[in-house]
Amino acid sequence: MVPLIDPFARAISYLRVSVTDRCDFRCTYCMSEHMTFLPKADLLSLEELDRLCTAFVRMGVQKLRITGGEPLVRKGILTFFEAMSRHLQSGALKELTLTTNGSQLAKFAEPLAALGVKRVNVSLDTLDPAKFTQITRWGRLPQVLDGIQAAKAAGLRVKINAVALKGFNEDELFSLLDWCAREDQDLTFIEVMPMGEDMGEGLRLDQYWPLKDLRARLSERFTLTDLAERSGGPARYVRVEETSQKLGFITPLTHNFCESCNRVRLTCTGELYMCLGQEDMADLRAPLRASPDDAVVEAAIRAAIARKPKGHDFDYTRQRVKGQMTRHMSHTGG
Ligand code: SAM
Ligand code: SF4
């Protein structure tokens, strides 16, 4: 099968799949407190998700990241992981992984590890229990910390993703770093992105803490060495020499990473977003449901990839949000 190559000669080898728009948390930068979720009938069934992801794997996708919403609250999610693990066994898929808020990891870590998951990204912005509940609204820190321990006990490698929020976790920069060093976890900071409409939480711009400022603060105490490692996405890595830690920075707004972009995003309703920062998407649910013949959906995937844009439009530099997206992060899964 001819691999997926976009018009800018980028091979598409990485698919992020949002399996649900629902979540057991309501992080202020991600969702409003009273979210309206999609009608269940609009969601792809687990079998449909399997068919679609399998088509992508056939067409050259080697890395699959399961996300959401909270992927582990989707009913029957292990059935889906089990289905995907057959592509690991065949060697077609090199990595099956997930991004989670950690709340359900105590229950799922072991079965996930048994199905071939080796690494998990856990989102955690603060180590203060009160602040944790403030930012997630419904989350409880001890439950997430238990989940992280369960993941490690099951042999999973844990990476912590922390959204850098001005006036919220600025003062925890060093304590988060220390904790990750002690726990032997990688850590990545993410710049807050202008996703979703105004949710009454104030503009995202107010929470914007540029990672170059965060980096400058780290440099006052530590020696940071840039690493050449690239993921094909917006992450850049440094080594903290004094602690030998690898630290990631995801700066989708201030850095141009689009030239090496290797990924597309599938929503739980079968919309394929070719770029996180653009509105254009292709509906794959209709061709999927139109015919049991996978050639139809494969043609739809190829047509979509042929429309993958060169880059995104996010720009905070003029003190206003240009290219602001109206969809929530929980829709495309980040
Ligand atoms: N529920 C899972 C979780 O929290 O890890 C997976 C989905 S969540 C949408 C994926 C990632 O997007 C999380 O790391 C979250 O912190 C991040 N995120 C959500 N809204 C964001 C925003 N406005 N800007 C930057 N990152 C955001
Ligand atoms: Fe849920 Fe993740 Fe969004 Fe928080 S960031 S509300 S945990 S989907």
**pLDDT at position 203:** 45
**pLDDT at position 276:** 78
Confidence category of residue 137, pLDDT binned at 50, 70, 90: very high
Instruction: Report phi then psi at 15, rounded to 5.
Output: -120, 130
Ligand 1 neighbourhood includes 139 CB (under 6 angstroms): no
Q: Where are the beta strands (DSSP E) in the chain?
A: 14-18, 63-67, 95-100, 119-123, 157-164, 186-191, 224-230, 235-240, 245-250, 263-266, 271-273, 281-283
**For range 265-290, the mean pLDDT:** 94
Ligand 1 neighbourhood includes 67 CB (under 6 angstroms): yes
C-alpha of residue 306 to centroid of ligand 2, in Å: 31
Residue 87 has pLDDT above 90, yes or no: yes
Q: Which atom of ligand 2 is nearest to the CA of 99?
A: 2
Residue 217 has pLDDT above 70, yes or no: yes
Percent of the chain with pLDDT over 90: 75
**pLDDT at position 74:** 98
Kindly report the protein residue whose alpha carbon is nearest to atom 8 of ligand 2.
69
- Cβ contact 23:274 at 8 Å: no
Q: Which atom of ligand 1 is nearest to the CA of 70?
A: 1
Residue 310 has pLDDT above 90, yes or no: no
Show the ligand 2 pocket: residues with CB < 6 angstroms: 23, 25-27, 30-31, 68-70, 101, 123, 136, 330
Question: 282 Cβ partners below 8 Å, 6+ apart?
Answer: 271, 272, 274, 300, 301, 303, 304, 307
C-alpha of residue 46 to centroid of ligand 1, in Å: 22
**pLDDT at position 161:** 98
Tell how strand 157-164 and strand 263-266 pair up.
unpaired
Cα within 13 Å of Cα(271), Cβ side = 15
C-alpha of residue 207 to centroid of ligand 1, in Å: 14
C-alpha of residue 333 to centroid of ligand 1, in Å: 7
**For range 253-273, the mean pLDDT:** 86
C-alpha of residue 223 to centroid of ligand 2, in Å: 33
How far apart are the C-alpha atoms of 59 and 9, rounded to whole Å?
15
- Cβ contact 168:125 at 8 Å: yes
Amino acid at 270: G
Calculate the alpha carbon distances from 43 to 19, 38, 53, 281 in Å: 8, 8, 15, 16
pTM across the whole model = 0.93
The SS3 call for residue 235 is: strand
Confidence category of residue 201, pLDDT binned at 50, 70, 90: low
Task: For residue 98, give the ligand nearest its CA.
Answer: 1
**pLDDT at position 238:** 96
Amino acid at 165: L
Taking residue 34's Cβ as centre, other Cβ atoms within 10 Å add up to 7
* Residues 4-55 pLDDT 10s: 999 999 999 999 999 999 999 999 989 888 889 999 999 999 999 999 999 9
Ligand 1 neighbourhood includes 192 CB (under 6 angstroms): yes
- Cβ contact 103:139 at 8 Å: yes
The H or E element containing residue 159 is strand 157-164
Percent of the chain with pLDDT over 70: 89
**pLDDT at position 317:** 46
Q: Which atom of ligand 2 is nearest to the CA of 68?
A: 8
Residue 197 has pLDDT above 90, yes or no: no
- Cβ contact 333:18 at 8 Å: yes
C-alpha of residue 120 to centroid of ligand 1, in Å: 14
Confidence category of residue 253, pLDDT binned at 50, 70, 90: low
The SS3 call for residue 17 is: strand
Q: Which CATH class, in words, describes the domain spanning 14-160+257-332?
A: alpha beta
Testing ligand 1's pocket by substitution, the residue of 137, 163, 312, 328 carrying the most ligand atoms inside 8 A of its CB is 163
Residue 319 has pLDDT above 50, yes or no: no
**pLDDT at position 231:** 79
* Residues 176-193 pLDDT 10s: 999 999 999 999 999 987
